[in-house]
Amino acid sequence: MAVTMAPESRLPVRDDGEIVGARRAARALAATLGFSETDLTMIATAVSEIARNMVEYGGGGEMTFAVIDGDGRVPGRRGLRITATDHGPGIPDVERAMQDGYTTGRGLGLGLPGARRLMDEFRVESAVGVGTTVSMTKWVV
């Protein structure tokens, strides 16, 4: 079964106010899909972590929210895919950045690995001098 996606919503994420806006938008869209309160909190937290990283390390960027149908394994399954893209300096060592406690800034180094634990699917693509894209998906159970 092919994955089909509904029209996407795009939001700029350049400052603290837009981080809050992205968190609210993700939670509201996820609620329309029937996610549990626990899942809504996990989605909102993951979005906050990634959006904060985009602002702090990537100079801001854009988040895309899309409803997806079908995951190739479970027919009729619906989910929410969130893609965050920045054009910052990139992550020189993605594997290291995914380790708890690793940080190049003032944080605790839990943003990327924490968001990964909260979502069902998580991927980071980064190129030094080009930017970073994080794609994460949560499926309705």
Domains: count for the chain: 1
CA–CA gap between residue 26 and residue 28 (Å, rounded): 6
- Identify the residue whose tokens are 């981080």: 19
10-residue mean pLDDT series, the chain (141 residues): 60 96 96 96 96 93 93 79 96 81 56 92 96 96 77
**CATH number for the domain harbouring residue 50:** 3.30.565.10
For residue 141, the SS3 value is coil
Amino acid at 64: T
pLDDT of residue 97: 79
Domain that includes residue 97, residue range: 4-139
Alpha-carbon gap, residue 49 to 13, rounded angstroms: 12
Question: What pLDDT sits at residue 55?
Answer: 95
What is 77-93 written as a DSSP string? -EEEEEEEEE-SS--S-
**CA-based max dimension of the chain:** 44
Q: What is the pLDDT of residue 1?
A: 37
pTM of this structure: 0.86
Task: Label residue 109 left, alpha or beta by phi (over 0 means left) and psi (-120 to 50 means alpha).
Answer: left
Residues forming beta bridges with residue 64, ordered by sequence position: 10, 83
Question: What pLDDT is stored for residue 3 in this prediction?
Answer: 47
Q: Decide: 81 and 66 in contact? Cβ < 8 Å.
A: yes
Query: Quick one: pLDDT at residue 85?
Result: 98
For residue 84, the cross-strand partners are: 63, 134
CA distance 134 to 10: 14
